Amino acid sequence: MKFVISREALLRPLQLVAGVVEKRQTLPVLSNVLLDVKSQQLSLTGTDLEVELVARVALEEVTAEGEITVPGKKLMDIVRSLPDGSMIEFEQDEQRINVRSGRSRFTLSSLPATEFPNIEDIEGEQPFTVEQAKLRRVIDRVAFAMAQQDVRYYLNGMLLEVNASSLRSVATDGHRLATCIVEASGPETQLQLIVPRKGILELSKLLTEPEDSVTLFLSPNHIRAETGDFTFTSKLVDGKFPDYGRVIPKNGNKVILADRQELRHVFQRTAILSNEKYRGVRVLLNSGNLQVFANNPEQEEAEESIAVDYEGESLEVGFNVSYLQDVLGVIDSDQAKITLSDANSSALLEEPENSDALYVVMPMRL
């Protein structure tokens, strides 16, 4: 194998593919990236056996075709460290790869391409196309609510629910829930699939062209996404996602409208003196006014108030302040709408008008 490529053409696809590769692996070949040169095109593939990403780059100069695997992180560090505008020559020398650029020369060890694992072909797929902007939106609006290392493994990911007219995402860690829905022409039958956390985060990195579309292939065990130069595949989480509809509060009678940024800053400042472990704050609601109190085991206290649009009974309720901050960080509108019913019920947060996303935050006992 021998070819020449510019640094700029190689850097972004290599960074994305190397992002999938795990640093510590029981199988040495899984820390490598597969390079495959065929008919004026370079394909780069990275996988951790759960998620696979293939990037394709057109080549101007190919001397010899072939395929080999090389250490992903080392190759990425080399390419990133070269000057802008560099041309890079790759040449296979038996079980090594020589990388040359200007006066720089690197020799990397390699492993045979035959050792590189392939995620099996998707069977029973149901392809449909959606705008990248819409898929990116349903991911970005709810990703923060995914669990990280919950023993309930089905929470360590995002539920995607597709049907003939819409695409919905749902994420929850058991203490809060986020959901977002957009119009999309999907398959006739409704499908639900849980994509693991890492798969969701890697997929969102590919959605950089809002105007372009992405084709999704769905099967019982995998999801595949194809954009112009990338093919992304992820195994699905095998499990039953909670019934999110039952969690969303229906009959809240205390509706508060507040300036989103102002409210965010109030929570940000009071959070400084909240308990570092539990992050609890007390919210006291009165007609036209919302007060926030925080304290910690060092007997330190914070108190702040903000004028809000609210007419009704007084209410005191405790929340994890980080959860409220996360929601206010992803809402787009100038104002935030919060609906409450009593001190033991969850809060419903959303944008005041035409909201495509809902956020539920459970109360805390303080």
Domain extent for 65: 2-115
Mean pLDDT of 82-91: 97
Q: What is the pTM of this model?
A: 0.93
| Measured distance CA(343)–CA(282) in Å, rounded | 11
Report which of residues 22 and 226 the model is more confident about. Answer: 226
| Mean pLDDT within 251-259 | 96
For residue 66, being part of any structural domain is answered with yes
Domain final position from 245, 263, 294: 245
Same domain, 302 and 204: no
Domain end residue (candidates: 179, 213, 245): 245
Residue 338 lies in a domain: yes
Number of domains in the chain: 3
Between 61 and 109, the higher pLDDT residue: 109
Judge if 146 and 233 occupy the same domain: yes
Exposure of 309 in the CB half-sphere (CA atoms within 13 A): 10
Helix (H, G, I), strand (E, B) or coil at 332: coil
- Considering the domain architecture, whether residues 269 and 217 belong to the same structural domain is answered as no
pLDDT, tens digit (0-9, with 9 covering 90-100), for 118-150: 877 776 667 889 999 999 999 999 999 999 999
Q: Is the same domain home to 101 and 194?
A: no
Residues 169 and 212 in one domain: yes
In a domain, 72, yes or no: yes
| 120 found inside a domain | no
Residue 36: inside a domain: yes
Give 21-69 pLDDT, tens digit per residue. Answer: 987 778 899 999 999 999 999 999 999 999 999 999 999 889 999 999 9
List phi, psi (to 5°) of 111. Answer: -130, 150
Q: Which tokens hold the place of 249?
A: 């509060």
Alpha-carbon distance of 335 to 314, in angstroms, equals: 21
Does residue 274 register a pLDDT over 90? yes
Q: The CATH number of the domain where 227 resides is what?
A: 3.10.150.10
Is residue 122, in this structure, part of any structural domain at all?
no
